[in-house]
Amino acid sequence: MPALSMNPRVADVKPEKNYTLHVWFKNGEEGVFDVKPYLEYEMFQPLRDIAFFNSVRPAHGTIQWANEADFCPDTVYLNSVKINAPSLLERTGGEA
């Protein structure tokens, strides 16, 4: 049975304008994750305060705030708009 492949985990994060996050993943990819669609949920409502939103930090392979609100690392990766995704050849070591 082939090993299951996990999505890359978060290495670093930087808050940006309009409730978005610039996210660096451990595989070298970067992306922009939009938090706006989640702000209506009770757990994420404190993030509407921009100072609190800006306190985001990487934690346990994902992103987290002081109130322990966080996202599943797969959600962050899969829903990020990638900025510099490695090519297939780079990811497979030249064996496409």
Model confidence at 6, pLDDT cuts 50, 70, 90, reads confident
| Cα angle for residues 56, 62, 66 (degrees, 5° grid) | 35
Residue 43 within a domain: yes
Residue 7 within a domain: no
Residue 5 in this model has a pLDDT that exceeds 80: no
Euclidean distance between CA atoms 87 and 30, whole angstroms: 13
Residue 58 within a domain: yes
Question: What is the reported pTM?
Answer: 0.82
Residue 4 within a domain: no
DSSP secondary structure letters along 4-73: PPPPPPEEEEEE-STTEEEEEETTS-EEEEE-GGGTTSGGGGGGGSHHHHTT-EEETTEEE-TT--B--H
Residue 96 within a domain: no
Residue 63 within a domain: yes
What are 20-73's pLDDT values in tens digits? 999 999 999 999 999 999 999 999 999 999 999 999 999 999 999 999 999 999
Per-residue pLDDT, 11: 96
Residue 70 within a domain: yes
Q: CATH number for the domain including 72?
A: 3.30.2020.10
| Number of structural domains found in the chain | 1
Full domain range(s) for residue 65: 12-91
